[in-house]
Structures are given as structure tokens and as C-alpha cells.
Chain A
Amino acid sequence: MGDTIRVELNGKERDVRAGLTVRGLLETLELEPGLVVVERNREIIARARYDEVAVREGDRLELVHFVGGGA
């Protein structure tokens, strides 16, 4: 198989395996789903939907988390 799709991940183009769900993508990137917030095409994906939402060609994905910050 080896099919890939191109997505924009945190502002950078990236080829990922075709057919991944959001959860599958996070696993591929070795990210803990409980510590990540995913925005897909400007829409936040609820964690409960990580298993059902598919990553598609051309998706603009933002993967964010908490970092140190004050003001």
C-alpha cells in the first residue's frame, strides 16, 4: 500500500499515511492524546472523536499543548 496524503501540520507540509484517524496520527507522532488539543481546518476536534475523525488530504492541522507562560 504505502499510500500517503499531504497535510499541513503546525504550519509545515507533511506526508502522512493515508487512512489515519486523528488518534492514529497522534500515535504515529508518538503524542499522548490526553495532553494534545487538535484543531482541524480551524475546528477543534473533541477528544471523544479522535477515533472517528479521519485525516484527509490537504487538512490543516494544529496540534497544541500547554507550555510555560505568564503574561
Chain B
Amino acid sequence: MGPERSEPLVIGGKEFHSRLIVGTGKYADPGVMVEAIRASGAEVVTVAVRRIDLDRSEGILHVLDPSEFFLLANTAGCFTADDAVRYARLARAAGFNEWIKLEVIGDVETLLPDTQATIEAARVLVGEGFRVMAYTNDDLVTALRLEDAGCVSVMPLASPIGSGLGVVNPYFIREIKRRLSVPVIVDAGVGTASDACITMEQGVDGILMNTALASADDPVAMARAMRYAVRAGRLAFMAGRMPVREIAVPSSPTRGMVG
């Protein structure tokens, strides 16, 4: 891609070179998952904390090398602040890092976050020394409160988890980015490469996605597409787009036409 200026993403004092974070759920085949993650170029991958199935122990670290990726544990599946705090502590005790992708779900049908509980849990976890990246909706006030609580990143959704609807409210995503100092990583809802590109063109710092890759017919090819889409969207944002006009403006000279 030629001499592209490297512009690292810094979250909580740690530098990353990919703006794409990927999940590890829902893959039909663990080998395809690892190949897709590699094709995506992501450095940070999310994992969940669950009970060991004592009849059939198959943790993800049997297929995913923790020295190859930065493991970001989530609190997926938690519906209360207390549960999320408990899961975060369990994740930290796994011994990899003190980072947590905090999510507290408020509604089963839409998987929209319980923002009040999320803020509550964020305060507790920040107090315990966690670096909290908080999943939230596209509400500016909640995003501001999460930043105030000490989160190292705020992660508004593009649209509901697993929906693939793309970014439904670009205006609020831009507002959140404009008002926050911590990195804004859009989390959930991106379905295909154009969604990722449009999301990055809003100026956000990165995207987290899972289902868009895992549920594609060819996860590895989609991962490659997403890698370029995230970069393209970032580059386009940094380049500063032309103004939108409702009328045509010729791009060839109007003078010097043969008479």
C-alpha cells in the first residue's frame, strides 16, 4: 500500500497498530477462526469467561495462542453490575492483563446495554485498577459519564449486537467522538466492509466486530475485506472529504472547448 503514515491507536497508554478488534465467538471451525483473525490484522481479540464443561474441556486458548494476540476478556452475558464485576475479576485472575470489555445487557431481545448498571460497574472496576473499555449505546450523555468514570475507551454500538445493520446513527457517533477525549471504538452492528468504512469515516478510533466475520460465508475473505475497509475509512477521514453538493460541478475545464 505504499508509504502509509503509521498512526498508532493508543488506548490506556498501550499502543496498537490495528484499528480493528475482533471477537472469537460463533465460528463454526476453530481453525477458520484463527485464520480469519490473522487475515483481519487485529492485535486485540475478545474472549468470554464461562464455566468449564467438565465432560469436554475446550477452552479457546487451546487454539488461540495468547502470545500472538492481546486478549481482551468481556463480561458478555451479564445483566447486573455485580455480575459484570464478578466476571471481570475472574477474567483478570486468568493472569493475562487487567483489561476488561465491560458490557451489562439491559434487554434480552435487543441486547441493548443497561447504561446505568454499566456506569456503576465501570466505577467499581476502575477503582480496582482495571482498564475498562465500556460497551454502550449511542447516547452521548452515557458516553460522557463512562469517560468520567475513568474508562480507557468508550464503545458505542453501530447497531444491535449481531444485527449487521451497520451504523444507524452516524450523527450521534460523531457527537460522541467529538466530545470525548478517550478513544471511541464502535462495537457491534457492522455487517460488511462498506459498514466498516462508513463507521471509520465518522472519525472514530476503531471498530470491534465478531459476527460480521464469523457468520460470513467465507470468514477469512471477509476478515481481509474488513482489514482494508477499516484502513480505507480511516484514511478517508484523515484525508478530509470533499463537501457534499446538491448540484453538479464539472471537474474538467469549462474554458478552452473547441469552437
Contact = CB atoms under 8 A, between A and B. Distances in A.
Looking at A9, A47, A62, A64, which has the most chain B CB atoms within 10 Å of its CB?
A: A64
A62 B51 contact: yes
Nearest to A37: B93
Interface size class of A (residues with CB under 8 A): 20 to 34
Interface in B178-202: 187-188
A71 B74 CA distance: 7
Contact of A44 (B60, B90, B111): B90
Contacts of A44: 89-90, 93
Interface string B78-122: 000000001001110111000001010000000100000000000
A15 B214 CA distance: 39
B46 A70 contact: yes
Interface string B25-58: 1110000010000000000001111111010011
Interface string B7-25: 0000000000000001111
A69 B23 contact: yes
B208 interface: yes
Contacts of A10: 51-52, 54
Contacts of B25: 68-70
B50 A67 contact: yes
A66 B103 contact: no
A11 B26 CA distance: 24
Interface in A23-71: 29-31, 34-37, 39, 42, 44, 46-47, 62-71
B76 interface: yes
B249 interface: no
Secondary structure at the A interface, as helix, strand, loop or mixed, is mixed
B61 interface: yes
Contacts of A71: 23, 46, 74, 76, 101, 103, 111, 135, 161-162, 187-188, 208, 210
B151 interface: no
Given A47-B95, A71-B46, A71-B76, 12 more contacts: A35-B59, A35-B61, A37-B49, A63-B51, A64-B50, A65-B57, A66-B94, A68-B23, A68-B48, A69-B210, A70-B25, A70-B74
Interface of B: 22-27, 33, 46-52, 54, 57-61, 71, 73-74, 76, 86, 89-91, 93-95, 101, 103, 111, 135, 161-162, 187-188, 208-211, 214
15 contacts: A10-B52, A35-B94, A37-B49, A44-B93, A46-B93, A64-B49, A64-B90, A65-B94, A68-B48, A69-B46, A69-B76, A70-B25, A70-B46, A70-B161, A70-B210
